[in-house]
């Protein structure tokens, strides 16, 4: 029996370094991160605020403000092309067309003085060269696709006239306008209430099955990860500290930071009166990202830390097939 053919990654990020240069010094927001996404796959990148998740996503689209930010190393290959080497005109053609992004807060991402239909239509006119009339008709169809009621009326309304859930649906419609191969969703449900969150996630799953796009999901919500993703990358202090399938990560985390994140998630049926039912916090704060830290970045907050951790940074290496972690004592985490 022949071995299955290897899948060529749609996106391959290799040793990405994105630093910010300020009067206070250099902040290494992303410092040597690597991962890949296959066609049609959903990869989640998780971690606390400030770990480098959103900077990673903005780096892929070359949207990091310069100054103060700068991509100082690594490569980002999309369908074999190194995005960091492309002229800006070619990069503009890819943004919104082949790679699209759903931003965290629609109210700050949408133009308040243009109707939502016009904003969707602009994407179509720019990338597909169709007339404004045809683009507006397509915009109405897209609003219908993302299940906004009465799209013929809503297409003429402005962002402030829509609810938070509807604005997020508009952002999804805009992202899907040109049938991108990769959809980057940066905390797509953070600002929404629980009921609307569930509707948006269900919508994203449905649309993914229709258009076949791969999704890079940026989130701190492990519940969203469990529902949406096939694989997970865990980031801490600008570094990747663990990568595994969703099932393997949830059942057998190999890094103490990942275990801390999982222990901080409420569990249905757990009694807060019992010690086992109490939510566990991760003590301490994320360290400064100025490159001054020696050893493991998580050591000051880690219950398993030993002298080795404080002096030698652990390499990211496979612990079991398909599951890598950057921890000297990962066997103790998995125990």
Mean pLDDT of 309-324: 93
State the DSSP string of 128-194. H---HHHHHHHHHHHHHHTT-SSHHHHTTS-GGGS-HHHHHHHHHHHHHTT--SEEEEESTTTTS-H
Which of 35, 33, 40, 41 is closest to 16 using CA atoms? 33
- Sign of the CA dihedral running 117, 113, 188, 235: positive
Distance CA 308, CA 167 (A): 49
Contact between 13 and 184 under an 8 Å Cβ cutoff? The reply is no
The tokens describing 270, both together, are 């757990």
What is the per-residue pLDDT across 140-176, written as a single tens digit (0 to 9) for each?
999 998 889 999 999 999 999 998 888 988 988 888 8
Distance CA 286, CA 284 (A): 7
Contact between 183 and 100 under an 8 Å Cβ cutoff? The reply is yes
Model confidence at 181: pLDDT above 70: yes
What is the per-residue pLDDT across 255-284, written as a single tens digit (0 to 9) for each?
999 999 998 877 655 554 444 556 678 888
Contact between 157 and 116 under an 8 Å Cβ cutoff? The reply is yes
What is the per-residue pLDDT across 47-92, written as a single tens digit (0 to 9) for each?
988 899 999 999 999 999 988 999 999 999 999 999 999 999 999 9
| Neighbour order of strands in the sheet with 231-236 | 99-102, 182-186, 214-219, 42-46, 231-236, 239-245, 323-325, 317-320
> Which of 255-282 are b and which e, b meaning 16 or more Cβ less than 10 Å from the residue's Cβ?
bbbbbbbeeeeeeeeeeeeeeeeeeeeb
User: How large a percentage of the chain has pLDDT more than 90?
Assistant: 61
Domains along the chain? 11-109+179-267+278-334 (3.40.50.300)
């Amino acid at each position: 029996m022949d071995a299955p053919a290897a899948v060529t990654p749609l996106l391959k990020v290799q040793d990405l370094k994105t630093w910010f240069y300020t009067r206070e010094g250099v902040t290494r927001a992303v410092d040597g991160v690597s991962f890949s996404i296959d066609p049609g796959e959903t990869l989640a990148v998780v971690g606390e605020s400030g770990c480098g998740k959103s900077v990673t996503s903005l780096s892929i689209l070359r949207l990091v403000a310069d100054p103060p930010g700068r991509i100082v190393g690594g490569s980002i290959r999309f369908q074999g092309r190194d995005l960091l080497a492309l002229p800006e005109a070619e990069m503009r053609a890819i943004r919104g067309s082949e790679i699209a992004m759903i931003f965290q807060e629609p109210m700050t991402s949408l133009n308040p003085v243009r109707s939502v239909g016009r904003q969707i239509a602009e994407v179509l006119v720019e990338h597909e060269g169709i007339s404004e009339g045809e683009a507006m008709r397509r915009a109405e169809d897209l609003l219908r696709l993302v299940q906004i009621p009465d799209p013929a009326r809503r297409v003429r309304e402005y962002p402030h006239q829509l609810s938070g859930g509807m604005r997020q649906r508009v952002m999804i419609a805009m992202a899907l306008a040109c049938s991108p191969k990769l959809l980057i969703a940066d905390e797509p449900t953070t600002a929404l209430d629980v009921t609307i969150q569930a509707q948006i996630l269900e919508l994203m799953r449905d649309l993914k099955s229709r258009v076949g796009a791969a999704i890079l999901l940026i989130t701190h919500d492990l519940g969203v990860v469990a529902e949406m993703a096939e694989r997970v990358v865990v980031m801490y202090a600008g570094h990747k500290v663990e990568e595994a399938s969703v099932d393997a990560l949830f059942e057998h985390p190999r890094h103490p930071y990942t275990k801390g994140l999982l222990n901080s998630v409420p569990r249905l049926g757990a009694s807060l009166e019992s010690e086992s039912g109490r939510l566990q916090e991760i003590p301490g704060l994320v360290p400064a990202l100025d490159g001054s830290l020696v050893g493991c970045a998580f050591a000051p907050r880690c219950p398993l830390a030993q002298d080795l951790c404080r002096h030698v940074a652990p390499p990211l290496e496979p612990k079991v097939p398909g599951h890598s972690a950057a921890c000297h004592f990962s066997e103790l985490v998995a125990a």
